[in-house]
Amino acid sequence: MGPFLEYTVIGLTVGSFYALVALGYTIVYGIIRLINFAQGDLSMVGAFLGWTLLVSFGFQRLPLYLALIAAFVVPMLGTAVVNLGILQFAYKPLLKKSMLAILITALGMSLFLQNSAELIWGPAIQAYPPNLLPANGLFMGPVHLTYVQIALVFVSLLLMGGLVAFIQRTTVGTAMRALAVDHDAARLMGIDVDAIIRLAFVLGAMLAAASGVMLGLYYVQIQFTMGFLLGLRAFTAAVLGGIGNIPGAMAGGMLIGLLEAYTTGYLSGKWEDVLVFGVLITVLIVKPTGLFGERVAERM
Amino acid sequence: MIARLADHRAGRAFIASRDQLERIPFFIRVIVILAIVGGSVLLNGDDYVTSVAVSVATYAMLGLGLNIVVGYAGLLDLGYAAFFAIGAYTSAMLMTIAHWNFFATLPLAVLFTGTAGAILGYPTLRLRSDYLAIVTLGFGEMTRITFNNWDYAGGPNGILDIPWPNFFGYQLSTQGDFFVVGLVLLAIAMIFAQNLDHSRLGRGWVAIKEDEFAAESVGVPSLRLKLFAYVMGGMWGGLAGAFFATRIGAIDPTSFTFQLSVLVLIVIVLGGTGSLPGVLLGALVVVGLPEVLRQFADQRLLIFAVLLIGVMLLRPQGLWPRVRRKPKPFYGLQEEEAGDVAARILGEHQVQMEERDRRHAAAGHQVPQPGEALLEVEGLVQQFGGLRAVDNVSFNVQRGEIFSLIGPNGGGKTTVFNCITGVQKPKRGRIRFDGRSVVGLRPHVIVSRGIGRTFQGIRLFKNMAVFENVMVGLYPRHRTMTWQAMLHTPGERTDELRTLQESRRWLGFVGLESLAGRLATELSYADQRRVEIARALAAHPHLVLFDEPAAGMNPTEKLELVGIIRKIRDLGITVLLIEHDMSLVMRVSDRIGVLDHGVLIALGKPAEVQQNPTVIEAYLGRDEDDVIVKAQGA
């Protein structure tokens, strides 16, 4: 029983990172039907911006809460700017043209971000300050829960809750949901479609950056290639939950995190990906729209 | 002025020479071009250049395979490296462990990858393309990891010391040798791809890409065609993989990553999706550019990324896009006398009907005679959530009659159509056609049983010419096999000509022969409806379902439509019609059924239905003037 709970805790922690990135995929996909392959790499950019702040600029010597707030807020804003640039420069001109071309551009962007990061921060592994956060925690029976884990899951849930509230409760959120259904109808209702698309990219980038910083704090080590696997897992999570569906992305992220933790724990890390994709494919065969995806009405 | 005239002449000369060039069979052009390219590379003799050229050929082969999946069938595949890997491992293991000759391993490599394509394709075909992206990606990763963890295949170290191929005693060893083999394989791949593209399969794929639902409803087996694209693409990848393994001499799982899948996708999108010269150009750029950028060492990939994005922004359609020149309708056909057309259609159709009846009877089914029930709908119920769209509806359509379904909007007419044509599965009830149940069959199977249809909102294939639209309607009647299409055999050519001939006759039948070469979208609304009718008739149905064919037509066009519907009945085809135009309905129908709120409230001859108080009430509410009678007078 001990290891099981331990794996569960690990799975939920890692899963919440995936969930955050998956939300980025899902929001952008919901609005413009684009799989933004650079999503995982945005997370990497966020992680490196946070590292720059904490280590290079020495923010780690500030009081802990100040350092943490800065380490989250600045990368989230910075990454949002980067993503807006990507949208404006690389995706916007192609939005109405060819979905395949835009997909290739997204893949090119992923490559671009990775290689730019390598150029700026170097190819080596960088380390987040390891002793920034206290290593102690709670013992719940046999399970050791560190405060870091609790805090990370808490922050993730906070961000996700904020996002859901924003989309469900506010006027702008309603506009986003309208846009997800029908661009032209939304435009006719006076919604500024371009502004909403920009907003989706800002939100997606901020969530990705937050997960990048959390990943740095949790695993300590970061590298310019880290976005690939993260992006892949998150994309899988988004599809598993039903792409375009927000609770689906969160649940998908958690599920993938758990699955990964159990496989690594009970079997071996070697088969992690095979199992993750195997589950995904099985789910899609049984339920082609993903776990929470709604049935898309067939055009008559 | 003179200059313009000269330009004009030059232009004409260019077009003329291009036409002449096109008369040379494609395979000769491919062989000549590849021979020239190959010759100049070999004469150059530089080992480095030759080895880069071999890589270009390998990527071009992969690109051609993926092009079938992405370019022709329109399915996104992000795990294409899996096929490359399976082909490479199959060939390499047979060569190193069983000591087979390289060329003997090819059939097995192709067989395994084709099977892998079927395994990947079958369960995933119903998924939307965005979901396909991740499933194929996952398939690619799973394949790579499996090889990585499989000790018998060398695990992470892969397979070393793969021997060079021996061709009937000649030992291939130099880059030049491999280049020649690569070019030969490439030439074969190109010729097959071109033939497929220009066959009924190519037409079917274009139709599916444009409107899968409409394609399926006029008889194109969409799932089978998509599956076939996967299998075909997989086999190509397997061939390229086997070639890669023997050429490099050692393979390991890192040769078959997601990055490779992405590179191959880049090859075809950069070159121009669906375009054969585009694939070659794309391969040249994707392999050649990093070589050229070698001097930039560290920033190589960064520059590559920037250039890639730049090209996509400037030319989203690709560097050498697929050109669809104005199709020449009925190219290669002999003229027929105008009067002949109707007679030929009648003759051909009667032959078809008799043959069908005979086959039907031979299979032990009862053949309905004129006046007997051809279509039997019994207790049909269809429900959407809490709404009963069709509630316990029963009616028969007799062979040879024109039967109309009318009723206020939302009455459930189109839902009945969709249940009959297999678009929806009814919740309860029986639908029998020709004495056999059609419930639960896929739409294209129902088409091949002999039911054709048109749509309420016009659903033509917009980027196809009018005659090509009708040719898609002939899909169920092709007799040639896929391999014949691939090899472009004489039998396949005759079949294509016959298809062309029939599409012309059907267009003549609805009076549109002169517009055959236009794009479907260039036609007026009424003419588009007529194209849909010709497309539905092309499969020689027993029964056609027309969903509001007169919508958007002016009185003259409606009159012509009445003529066409009567001509169709005269062919012996039964007509089931949904229509709101009462005067038209009353004029052509033998019998009428009235649906209101999903319930059949009246059934009978036009005059009876007109007098039926329930019908009048459904249309007008209580105590109103009898507008239906007025409409009939109009």
> DSSP states of B576-607 as a string?
EEE-S-HHHHHHH-SEEEEEETTEEEEEE-HH
Inter-CA distances, B333 with A9, A96, A122, B499, Å: 73, 40, 67, 11
Mutation pick from B67, B70, B130, B299 vs chain A, by most beta carbons of A within 10 Å, is: B130
Query: In chain A, what residues touch B76 (CB-CB under 8 Å)?
Result: 100, 103
Nearest to A284 among B135, B306, B316 (CB): B135
Residues of chain A with pLDDT under 50: 295-300
Between B12 and B216, where is the model more confident? B216
**C-alpha dihedral sign at B130, B114, B145, A259:** positive
From B459's Cα to the closest Cα of chain A, the distance in A is 9
Give the tokens for residue B309.
Answer: 């994005």
A111: closest chain B residue by CA: B305
Q: What angle do CA B500, B192, B73 make, to 5 degrees?
A: 70
Interface touch B133/A35, C-beta < 8 Å: yes
Q: Which residues in chain B touch residue A100, judged by CB atoms under 8 angstroms apart?
A: 70, 76, 269, 273
Evaluate whether ipTM surpasses 0.90: no
Angle between helices B222-248 and B102-124 (to 10 degrees): 140
Helix, strand, or coil (residue B200): helix
Banded model confidence at residue B13, pLDDT cuts 50, 70, 90: low
| B564: enclosing H helix or E strand | helix B555-570
Higher pLDDT pick, B248 / B364: B248
Beta strand extents in chain A (DSSP E only): 126-127, 137-140, 143-146, 221-222
- Whole-number CA gyration radius for chain A: 19
Which of A33, A263, A277 best probes binding to B when mutated, by most B CB atoms within 10 angstroms?
A277
Q: Is A297 on the interface with B (CB under 8 A)?
A: no
Cα–Cα distance, B242 to B249 (Å, whole number):
11
Answer yes or no: do B130 and A288 touch at CB < 8 A. Answer: no
Confidence band, pLDDT 50/70/90 cuts, at residue B8 = low
| Pairing, β B591-596 against β B402-406 | parallel
- CB-based contact A98 B128, cutoff 8 Å: no
- The pairing of beta strand B170-171 with beta strand B166-167: antiparallel
| Closest listed residue to residue B267, CA positions, set B257, B277, B280 | B280
Q: Are the beta carbons of A104 and B456 separated by less than 8 Å?
A: no
Q: Rounded CA gap, B603 and B623, in Å? A: 22
Q: Mean pLDDT for chain B?
A: 86
Q: Which two tokens stand for residue B438?
A: 């059609």
Torsions phi, psi for B372 (to 5 deg):
-90, 165
Touching check for A115 and chain B: CB below 8 Å? yes
Cβ-contact B592, B397 below 8 angstroms: no
Residue-level pLDDT at B123: 79
pLDDT at position B296 over 60: yes
Q: Tokens in use for B104?
A: 């003997």
Provide, for chain B, the percentages of residues in helix, strand and coil under a 3-state DSSP scheme, each rounded to the nearest 5: 65, 10, 25
Q: How far apart are CA B7 and CA B521, in angstroms?
A: 32
B299 with A119: Cβ contact below 8 A: yes
Q: Which residues of B touch A270 (CB under 8 A)?
A: 145, 148-149
A274 touches chain B (CB under 8 A): yes
Contact yes or no for B313 and A94 at CB 8 A: yes
The answer to whether the CB atoms of A271 and B414 lie below 8 A apart is no
Confidence (pLDDT) at B547: 92
Chain A residues whose CB is inside 8 A of the B82 CB are none
> Distance between CA A30 and CA A19 in Å, rounded?
16
Phi, psi of A120 (to 5 degrees): -80, -50
Q: How confident is the model at residue B324 (pLDDT cuts 50, 70, 90)?
A: low
d(CA A238, CA A227): 16
Are B535 and B456 spatial neighbours (Cβ–Cβ below 8 Å)?
A: no
Return the pLDDT at A265: 85
Amino acid at the residue B45:
G
Which chain B residues have a beta carbon less than 8 Å from that of A242?
A: none
Asked if the Cβ–Cβ distance from B312 to A108 is below 8 Å, we say yes
Segment B357-378, tens digit of pLDDT:
888 888 877 788 887 889 999 9
Across B340-365, average pLDDT? 78
Nearest-5° Cα angle at B404, B398 to B410? 130
Residue type, A253: G
Residue B472, φ and ψ in degrees, nearest 5: -60, -35
**CA B261, CA B493: separation in Å to the nearest integer?**
36
How are beta strands A126-127 and A221-222 bridged, if at all? antiparallel
pLDDT tens, position by position, B144-165? 999 999 988 888 899 998 988 8
Note the pLDDT tens digit of each residue in B480-501.
Answer: 777 788 888 888 888 888 888 8
**How far apart are the C-alpha atoms of A21 and A14, rounded to whole Å?**
11
Q: Do A280 and B135 touch (CB under 8 A)?
A: yes
- Is A264 in the B-facing interface, judged by CB distances under 8 Å? no
Cβ-nearest to A288 among B131, B142, B414: B131
| Contact at CB, B123 and A285, closer than 8 angstroms | yes
Task: Give the model's pLDDT for residue B634.
Answer: 41
Whole-number Å distance between alpha carbons of B498 and B478: 9
DSSP secondary structure letters along A150-182:
HHHHHHHHHHHHHHHHHHHHSHHHHHHHHHHH-
Q: Please give the residue of chain B at the shortest CA–CA distance from A122.
A: B298
Question: What is the model's pLDDT at position B2?
Answer: 47
- Both structure tokens of A281: 């494919």
Phi, psi of A290 (to 5 degrees): 85, 170
State mean pLDDT over B277-286: 92
pLDDT of residue A121: 93
Q: Helices A99-121 and A226-241 sit at what angle, rounded to 10 degrees?
A: 140
The pair of structure tokens assigned to B458 is 């016009």
Which of B126, B133, B309 has its CB closest to that of A90?
Answer: B309
Phi/psi of residue B373, each to 5°? -70, 120
Closest residue to A236, CB basis, from B134, B213, B266: B134
**Both tokens of residue B191?**
């010729």
Question: Measured between CA atoms, how close is B96 to chain A, in angstroms?
Answer: 26
Q: Are strands B373-384 and B451-453 parallel, antiparallel or unpaired?
A: unpaired
Q: Which of residues 187-226 of A touch B (CB under 8 A)?
A: none
B115: which residues sit within 8 A by CB, 6+ positions away?
A: B234
Name the least confident of B3-7, B400-404, B417-421: B3-7
Smallest Cα distance from A75 to chain B, Å: 23
Q: Report the distance separating Cα B201 and Cα B73, nearest Å.
A: 9
Q: Which of B131, B273, B455 sits opposite A100 (nearest CB)?
A: B273
Cβ B124–A284 below 8 Å, yes or no? yes
The answer to which of B25-34, B55-64, B385-394, B556-565 has the lowest mean pLDDT is B25-34
A140 near B CB under 8 A: no
Percent of chain B exceeding pLDDT 90 equals 38
Mutate to test the interface with B, among A115, A228, A230 (most CBs of B within 10 A): A115
pLDDT recorded at residue B516: 86
- Interface size A-B, in CB pairs within 8 Å, comes to 122
* Minimum distance, in Å, between the CA of residue A214 and any CA atom of chain B: 26
* CA within 13 Å, CB half, B94: 21
Give contacts of B456 with chain A, Cβ < 8 Å: 300
Distance from CA of A299 to the nearest CA of B (A): 8
**A87-112 residues labelled b (16+ CB within 10 A) or e (exposed):** beebbbbbbeebbbbbbbbbbbbbbb
Task: Tell if the CB–CB gap between B312 and A271 is shorter than 8 Å.
Answer: no
Q: Write the DSSP symbol of residue A10.
A: H
Q: Break chain A down into helix, strand, coil percent, rounded to 5.
A: 75, 5, 20
The structure tokens listed for B618 are 């459904």
What's the pLDDT at B559?
Answer: 92
* Domains of chain B, start order: 18-257 (no CATH), 365-450+544-634 (3.40.50.300), 461-540 (no CATH)
DSSP code of residue B422? T
Q: Do A277 and B138 make contact, defined as CB atoms within 8 angstroms?
A: yes
Residue B398: beta bridge partners? Answer: B373
* CB B135 within 8 Å of CB B124: yes
Query: Which residues does chain A have within 8 Å of residue B455's beta carbon, measured at their own beta carbons?
Result: 300
